[in-house]
Structure 1
Amino acid sequence: MKTTENTLRVHSIESFGTHDGPGIRMVIFLQGCKLKCAYCHNPDTIDTHGGQDHTIESLVMRAVNMKSYFGEFGGVTVSGGEPLLQSKELIHFFQRLKEEGIHTNVDTNGRLLNHFVEELLDKYTDLVMLDIKHMREEGYQMITGMKNKETTFNFAKHREASGKPMWLRYVLIPGITNKPELLHEMGTYFKDYKTIEKIEIQPYHTLGVHKWENLGWDYQLKDARENTEAEINDAVEILEQYFKEVKVN
């Protein structure tokens, strides 16, 4: 991935996002990810050589032009792909956004925690949305194709120590991640975190399957079905025992 300090490698931009953080948001989907999650609905963001370069100043000006729509709670969210692959460049971007009084949010899988990421999180990131793939190593590997789920939990510990807000996100897949014992494990693990404002459940869907097919990739969850309303309600009931707010996206 070739970027400079003054550019970001962008897959796409959504001008009026309502599901990627508080309020109305400009959502920038950055290109590149080291994971290949079995349910990824944006697999075209994975390739680190894709996307297009956008200058940071052009993105800042686009956000500034949207400030009247952001209102009190909105702002800019960087998602992906995995945005923290470009953490060095994001430091400059978020610095500029904060100078313009714009709320900043990172939607991440928590795989990276180097000194660039720490500076970005600790100094310039108002909110982190952390994607919890699975509570157990074997499940994490099955979903992501990578080892060591602990990187995500180390990331969460760092954010908690900073005292700054965090939301959790969790994809609910029947027979894989919606098992009651896993939901209780997650709740038990995070119940004492002070920075977690809410957890967002994202029911499994197949809307991205055609993108896998267009890329010539084999979709790994062909046999997975969508959640029933009862399964979603059961998950909410469990998680409400541990978290201040449980939202279904």
Structure 2
Amino acid sequence: MFLLKLKPIKTEDNILRVHSLESFGTHDGPGIRFVMFLQGCKLKCLYCHNPDTINTTGGKEYEVEELVQMAINLKPYFGRKGGVTVSGGEPLLQSKALIPFFKRLKEEGIHTNLDTNGRLLNHFAIDLLDNYADLVMLDIKHMTEEGYQALTGQRNKETTFEFAKHREASGKTMWLRYVLIPEITNRPELLHEMGNYFKDYKTIEKIELQPYHKLGIHKWEALGWDYELKDARENTKEEIQQAVSILKEYFKEVKVN
């Protein structure tokens, strides 16, 4: 009798919709990373440098095991600190399929990292966070509701902070990320407010600052979208250093990417 080895049927549970892949990422978590940028996001941040990831119907479909094998092939380059980072878009929109993906990575001894805006905390996201995400990098958009809405196009900044509270309660590692835009997010009072809010968190290892740049404008133009921050300026070295000095009062490590 001959046994046929059948290929698994594609379902939402084992398919991830991917915008792009990066084999040797060095700015998306510890060490050298295999970075997956998933397709789809519910925010439309004015400074987004990958606006082509926002549409939820774009991207390319990959089976979970196919991506796992890619990660295994890159494992020799990861060293002690490296691993896989899933970014976006917003990866938690596909948290159901990320659960078996991260589970397989952990079976292979590969470090898992999730780069998220923290807008989603359903039972799939909670399972992923609590059981399979070794690290979470949480994007803090703005410290005021008015500023959050102006930057992201969505209401309720508190969803991100509820997400942070959940991660803190789990006792698992978290990094914060924050984009510095002069006069918009890079204001001393906002930096102090953020520092005071998170100063007692035990799970936060560092905060990474992303100085504002305009490298993604051409992508907005290609999509036929208006780039509303075209008049915003980039930070001076002095402004970046001032932000670092303020945040060092509150966080163990402050890194500028």
In which range does the TM-score fall when normalised by the shorter chain?
A: over 0.9
Of 227, 240, 244, 1:236 maps to 244
After TM superposition, give the deviation of residue 161 of structure 1 in Å. Answer: 0.1
After TM superposition, give the deviation of residue 3 of structure 1 in Å. Answer: 6.2
Question: One-letter code of the match for 1:207?
Answer: L
Residues in 2 aligned to 1:216 and 1:36: alpha-carbon distance in whole angstroms? 14
After TM superposition, give the deviation of residue 62 of structure 1 in Å. Answer: 0.4
After TM superposition, give the deviation of residue 222 of structure 1 in Å. Answer: 1.1
Moved over 4 A (4+): none
Q: Are 1:6 and 1:55, in contact at CA under 8 Å, matched by a contact in 2?
A: yes
Question: One-letter code of the match for 1:184?
Answer: H
Aligned residue runs from structure 1 range 1-150, under 5 A: 4-150=12-158
After TM superposition, give the deviation of residue 220 of structure 1 in Å. Answer: 1.1
After TM superposition, give the deviation of residue 4 of structure 1 in Å. Answer: 1.3
Structure 1 alignment gaps of length 5 or more: none
Aligned residue runs from structure 1 range 79-228, under 5 A: 79-228=87-236
Q: Are 1:3 and 1:9, in contact at CA under 8 Å, matched by a contact in 2?
A: no
What residue in structure 2 maps to residue 246 of structure 1? Answer: 254
After TM superposition, give the deviation of residue 223 of structure 1 in Å. Answer: 0.8
3-state secondary structure, aligned to 2:207: strand
Distance 1:3 1:32, change over 3 A: farther
Distance 1:80 1:3, change over 3 A: farther
Question: One-letter code of the match for 1:20?
Answer: D
> Could you list the per-position Cα deviations for residues 140-166 of structure 1 after superposition, in whole angstroms to 9, with x for gaps in the alignment?
000000000000000000000000000
What residue in structure 1 maps to residue 6 of structure 2? Answer: none
Count the aligned residue pairs.
Answer: 248
- Give the structure-2-normalised TM-score: 0.96
Identity among equivalent positions (%) equals 79
Pair member with larger Rg: 2
Structure 2 alignment gaps of length 5 or more: 1-9
Q: Are 1:30 and 1:78, in contact at CA under 8 Å, matched by a contact in 2?
A: yes
What residue in structure 1 maps to residue 3 of structure 2? Answer: none
3-state secondary structure, aligned to 1:66: helix
Question: One-letter code of the match for 1:57?
Answer: E
Residues in 2 aligned to 1:163 and 1:136: alpha-carbon distance in whole angstroms? 26
3-state secondary structure, aligned to 1:206: coil
- Give the structure-1-normalised TM-score: 0.99
